[in-house]
Amino acid sequence: MNYLSERARELSPYVAGIQPREEGWIKLNTNENPYPPSPEVAEAIKNFDAAKLRLYPDGDCHELREAVAENLGTGAENVFAGNGSDEVLGLAFQAFFSDKKNVLMPDISYGFYPVWSAMYGVEAKTVPLSGDYTIDAGGYKGANGVIIANPNAPTGVAIGLDEIEEIVKNNPNGVVVIDEAYIDFAGGEKTESAVALSDKYDNLLVTRTFSKSYSLAGLRVGFAVGSKELIDGLQRVKNAFNSYPLGMLEQTAAKAAVRDADYWDETRRRIIGTRGRTTAKLRALGYNVLDSQANFLFMEAPDAKGLYEYLYENKILVRYWDKPGISGFLRVTVGTEAEMEAFLQCIEKQTKPR
């Protein structure tokens, strides 16, 4: 007998990147930070009083929210904390999109969006990316909700704050969620977070994560910034699902990480530098690489699947999707200089693209 509900049976779960169990792999497939967390994080965990673990954590993460608010120049009442930005986004789908029609999202974006849509009865409509894989702000109008990743995933391409504001203005009757998992790696004209608009528009919710730029993927900490009304909505749904999403250690580590701005800036700049050098070398080899504003590259190859398999045989993991629009690309996380050099040497051994 199949005991699953009809909706559960119809779900196509998100498939995460491979996590190898043995040593010796160069792991460029899940967009993890190649550098360790701030030394302040290690110190905070070392000094943590383990006896406190007999108690429940602060379910509302007051101190962490205050630290994030101070860092971003907003109020703690405008910050929500959760178990990674995936949980925060999932709660946002429940709170603001559940059972609604005409919720807009890009046709090529983060693979969890359609999963949550199916899980929460959302009738989503996809908006095609432009020919250069850019999100077309003009395609998002009159919706009951909007979700986009900026920079987008898996392309790494970003749009500017003026375009984000255009989308928010054109959708006054729905919540606009901007998923900024990779915004800390943006550069040039795409540097500004949509958090700058959150006190101007009460229907704008910006989600962020500690997994990428703060090197805390293993602890699962994410947050959202928005109007008090939206934050209260997230709290309402969270408390109907799990009152204690973040443990004491997670909150302690995240507070230490967000307060060490110098280390955060140093590591993200290293990644941005490596990204630029790797992009230039791949282009010199003849590959088309999109202008990434994230901690990964999206590179086109004549035989992307074959190149993926070749790299895998050489114990280098990247991401490949056999899906329309992106089957000719690989997504490659930016690792350390040594890891990217090994990746490039492996690429050079293959037949150069036509």
- DSSP states of 247-299 as a string? -HHHHHHHHHHHH-HHHHHHHHHHHHHHHHHHHHHHHHTT-EE----SSEEEE
Q: Is there a contact between 203 and 314 (Cβ–Cβ < 8 Å)?
A: no
What pLDDT, on a 0 to 100 scale, did the predictor assign at position 354? 42
pTM: 0.94
The 3-state DSSP class for residue 9 equals helix
What pLDDT, on a 0 to 100 scale, did the predictor assign at position 150? 97
Strand order in the sheet with 288-289: 288-289, 296-300, 329-333
Rounded alpha-carbon distances, angstroms, from residue 131 to 83, 199, 254, 269, 290: 35, 33, 39, 29, 12
What pLDDT, on a 0 to 100 scale, did the predictor assign at position 158? 95
Local mean pLDDT, 10-residue blocks, the chain (354 residues): 82 81 92 97 97 96 97 96 96 96 96 94 96 95 97 96 97 97 80 90 98 97 98 96 94 97 96 97 96 97 95 96 94 98 93 50
What pLDDT, on a 0 to 100 scale, did the predictor assign at position 191? 63
Q: Is there a contact between 343 and 332 (Cβ–Cβ < 8 Å)?
A: yes
The 3-state DSSP class for residue 78 equals helix
What pLDDT, on a 0 to 100 scale, did the predictor assign at position 17? 81
Contacts of 189 (CB under 8 A, 6+ apart): 160
